[in-house]
Chains A and B, each alone.
Chain A
Amino acid sequence: MEYLAIYLGPTLIFVGWWFVLRKLVRIAHDQRITSVADLLSSRFGKSSRLAVLVTIIAVIGIAPYIALQLKAVTSSIQAIGGASSTGRGSFAGIDDVGLALGVAAAMALFTILFGTRNVDAKEQHHGVVAAIAFEAVVKLCALIAVGGFVIYAGGGFEAIFARAETQGLDIYSHEIFGNRWIAMNVLSVAAIICLPRQFQITVVENSDENHLRTASWAFPAYLMLMSLFTLPIALFGMTTMPAGSNPDMFVLTLPLAAGQQGLALLAFVGGFSSATSMIIVEAIALSIMVSNHIVMPIVLRTTTGLGETDGQGVSRLLLNSRRLSIGLILFLGFFYFYLTRDSDALAPIGLISFAGVAQFLPAIVAALFWREATVKGAITGVSIGFVIWAWSMFMPSFETSSPLVEQMMAQGPWGIDWLRPQALFGLSGLDPLVHSVFWSLFLNTTTLVLVSLITSQSALERLQATLFVDAFRRQGRSEPHFMRGSATSNDLFFVAQRVLGAERATILFAGLPRAGGDTSPEFIARLERELAGSIGAASAHVMLSKVVSGEAISLEEVMQMADETQQVIEYSQQLERTSAALRSTADQLEVANLQLREVDQQKDDFLSQVSHEVRTPMTAIRSFAEILLEGDKLDTMDRQRFVATIHEESLRLTDLLDEILDLSALESGKRDWVNRPVDAEIALDRAVRVCDALARQRGIAITVGPRAATAIVAGEPHRLSQVLINLISNAIKYNDAKHPEIGVQSRISGADYIIEVRDNGPGIAEADRAKVFHKFYRGGRSAGAREAGAGLGLPISREIIASMNGTLDLIEHEEAGALFAVTLPLVGAQATKAPSDP
């Protein structure tokens, strides 16, 4: 059941691929990263010390893992060999140590032949990837086949679980979901990123970022299928196989016990190929780290001039060092296997390796997401984590083979109790795995953070930190370059040829003049990246610094460049913000401008209307005045008549001007009265009385409908009467029906007092409804010119009512004729006792 945790961590990492894996892959592509050590060293200022440290830790930490695979291969060979009659003889004289040594040697040879044929810029090995994919499919098929067989033989899931329960096995995994479960999840998360093999396959060998998209769900699905049958196989094995059988070999031994030779062979091929591929890829990944980060820097430091040897020197040196390190790594694995051969279970050894490489996790996370992390923080953090891991987890695994270790475990070194490996600082009672993982990762992270906070970054570090943390922001901008282009292309070609080989170097230099001359800094930066792909970022940097005669640019200059980059980024962000603000201001201005233009247009209209209205009476006055001036032939009657007309017209003119003044005062919010509580009914009475004479003259009856008794509103009685008179006289003037009628009524509705004036005239056409309240509008058909006003009555009325907080509306209704309604809010006691008022 615990094995599930090993698969759940990777599942979570792939589910969250968007946030970590994608960034890792992007950076690895941009920076030509070849391994975990390269990643960390490149991020922390191309530090070779960090690269060496990481490489050493990885080589030591992986030894248990290689040992585990050796053990698996050895056991499975024994299991399958021991079962066949011919095989028994062939392995009879060999014990498992000898067998393991043979396996290790064969693996080393195979890996050297297969994985170190050439030095590639990206360290991608497509053959290896294809082989692994094939191996994964074989393994899945084998496991599913054995699983299907077990389900069939065991009588289904239910029967297997039931039998296990009756035999006293704990199928409900009571104690599992505790600290250990969490620790294993954390470890598997760390392993999927930090394990050199995983990093190689997931990040370095990734040729297209979008492959992650598919892997994000396909890999968890694969893991799920893999683990689907593991539990039934284990339980079935435990219930049917003799006591003391190795549970890790059930996949092989169960089919064998049932006489299914073919199935056992398939399972053997699956398991064997899986273990082999793990060893091979692990060894390749580690050997790249060793040759790039340990061998190369040493060679670079000890030899002053590389130019003397032939052009293939560095390349050959790299390959040879890789071959050697593969041998070394497999030997270390075998050595560990030899020392711990008495321990039985496979998984705990694997977990030791996981915990070892997990020490890189804090540094990697900081590398990706924390700009301020420094190389000193990374080095101290990783070192402390490694020391604690080695002390509390790696060393105790030798307990069975070394009495010294055993004694230290029991009493602590030199009898110091609080240094006991599995009860550090007095923290006892925890599961050893949880204990070690907690202390190592906790102190690792704490140190990383604290040291990063108190130390400062070098210029190169700051630059690289920006490149890593802002990996996605740097789209299209060229990478900053650190070297002055004072080297001739000849020199550089020489270097490139030696590292990359003649062929690749020629391609790289294709566009450049060969006969000397300066090369651009961009080209040097590109060359450095290419070289970094082969020999690691730190080595490439040192190497080019030596060749380029200008040396690396001074610290101050790099610092300045880094600051400039930062400034440019900030400046462009500011610019973006400012231009957004400007845009919105411009929008607002445009709206305001539009309004202004509208108002301007209204003003123009108004002025032209006014001058038109004024011109008519003025023309009349002028012409009559001229006639009077010229003619003495006029008789007194005519003279009298003309003077009367002039008088009349000037009165009209005065009225018009008064109205205009009145309206403009009302519109600008000035009023020449104070609102006070008045009875609107009295104003209505007065208006009806005034209009009565006009109505009689026209033969129109004013019907006064139902009335409210009293209605106290805030207003001014004369102004209110003026409005009502205007409404009623309009109704009279424009009514040309055969039997003209005017209706006036009032009522109280809620907290409002409403007066309605209705006529049975032509009404107001649909299109004109909106315009009747416009200035100088007189409706389609005009009554006799004498009665016609200037067209300001309704606008003025509306303004007056508005300044009494009421409304004047033209109400739509179904009968003929127009219906105007004045609505005014009641005030005082009447407002509060209104029925619908709360």
Chain B
Amino acid sequence: MMSERKLQSAALFLTLFGAMLFMPPLVLLFNLRQRLFGIPAEVIYLFLVWLGLVLATAWFSRRLPASGTETPPSGPES
């Protein structure tokens, strides 16, 4: 099981990589002028990533610590 801190980092990376997956140049990989099951490939790609993000976020939302109980971030900050 991941520690709380790791879980939070994982959630951050999920967001960042999710953003990258929606942006060029990665979407251009699927801009193929081809159809899968009659639907343009990039449409299928976008919706699959979308679905993946929804499922992953649902997973995270159950595991991230309850509000108010988290430990303050350590390390000097000023």
Residues of B within 8 A of A11 (CB): 18, 50, 53-54
The answer to whether residues A224 and B73 also contact, given A157-B38, A161-B40, A209-B67 and a CB cut-off of 8 A, is no
- Using an 8 Å CB-CB cutoff, how does the interface string of B18-60 with A read, 1 for contact, 0 for none? 1100111001100111010111101100110011011111101
Are A157's CB and B31's CB within 8 A? no
Are A157's CB and B39's CB within 8 A? yes
Q: Which chain B residue lies CB-closest to A475?
A: B68
Q: How far is the CA of A149 from the CA of B64 in the complex (A)?
A: 41
Q: How far is the CA of A220 from the CA of B14 in the complex (A)?
A: 14
Question: Within 8 Å of chain B (Cβ to Cβ): is A22?
Answer: yes
Are B22's CB and A473's CB within 8 A? no
Are A15's CB and B33's CB within 8 A? no
The answer to whether residues A185 and B23 also contact, given A216-B57, A220-B57, A371-B78 and a CB cut-off of 8 A, is yes
Residues of A within 8 A of B53 (CB): 11-12, 15, 220
Q: How far is the CA of A224 from the CA of B78 in the complex (A)?
A: 40
Residues of B within 8 A of A517 (CB): none
The answer to whether residues A172 and B70 also contact, given A12-B18, A15-B15, A371-B78 and a CB cut-off of 8 A, is no
Task: Find residues 177-230 in chain A having any chain B CB closer than 8 Å to their own CB.
Answer: 177-178, 181-182, 185, 209-210, 213-214, 216-217, 220-221, 224, 228
Are A185's CB and B22's CB within 8 A? yes
Count of residues in A whose CB is under 8 Å from the partner chain: 46
Q: Which chain B residue lies CB-closest to A182?
A: B23
Main secondary structure of the interface of B (DSSP, over half): helix
Residues of A within 8 A of B64 (CB): 18, 213
* Interface residue from B19, B23, B61 paired with A181 (Cβ < 8 Å): B23
Q: How far is the CA of A156 from the CA of B61 in the complex (A)?
A: 35
Residues of B within 8 A of A161 (CB): 35, 38-40
Q: How far is the CA of A182 from the CA of B22 in the complex (A)?
A: 9
Are A12's CB and B61's CB within 8 A? no
* Interface residue from B14, B15, B43, B67 paired with A231 (Cβ < 8 Å): B43
Question: Within 8 Å of chain A (Cβ to Cβ): is B66?
Answer: yes
Are A217's CB and B8's CB within 8 A? no
* Interface residue from A8, A12, A173, A185 paired with B31 (Cβ < 8 Å): A173
Question: Within 8 Å of chain B (Cβ to Cβ): is A14?
Answer: yes
How many B residues are at the interface, by size bracket?
A: 35 or more
Main secondary structure of the interface of A (DSSP, over half): helix
The answer to whether residues A22 and B54 also contact, given A178-B24, A181-B24 and a CB cut-off of 8 A, is no
Q: How far is the CA of A185 from the CA of B11 in the complex (A)?
A: 20
Residues of A within 8 A of B68 (CB): 209, 475
The answer to whether residues A173 and B40 also contact, given A4-B46, A472-B72 and a CB cut-off of 8 A, is yes
Q: Which chain A residue lies CB-closest to B23?
A: A182
Q: Which chain A residue lies CB-closest to B32?
A: A172
Are A224's CB and B38's CB within 8 A? no
Q: Which chain B residue lies CB-closest to A173?
A: B42
Are B54's CB and A224's CB within 8 A? yes
Q: How far is the CA of A224 from the CA of B57 in the complex (A)?
A: 14
A68 to chain B: closest CB distance in Å?
25
Question: Within 8 Å of chain B (Cβ to Cβ): is A159?
Answer: yes
Are B43's CB and A174's CB within 8 A? no
Question: Within 8 Å of chain B (Cβ to Cβ): is A16?
Answer: yes
Q: How far is the CA of A655 from the CA of B55 in the complex (A)?
A: 84
Closest 10 CB pairs of A and B: A158-B38, A16-B15, A217-B58, A473-B72, A217-B57, A177-B24, A213-B61, A209-B67, A177-B27, A221-B54
Residues of A within 8 A of B (CB): 1, 4, 8, 11-12, 14-19, 22, 26, 156-159, 161-162, 171-174, 177-178, 181-182, 185, 209-210, 213-214, 216-217, 220-221, 224, 228, 231, 371, 470, 472-473, 475, 566, 573
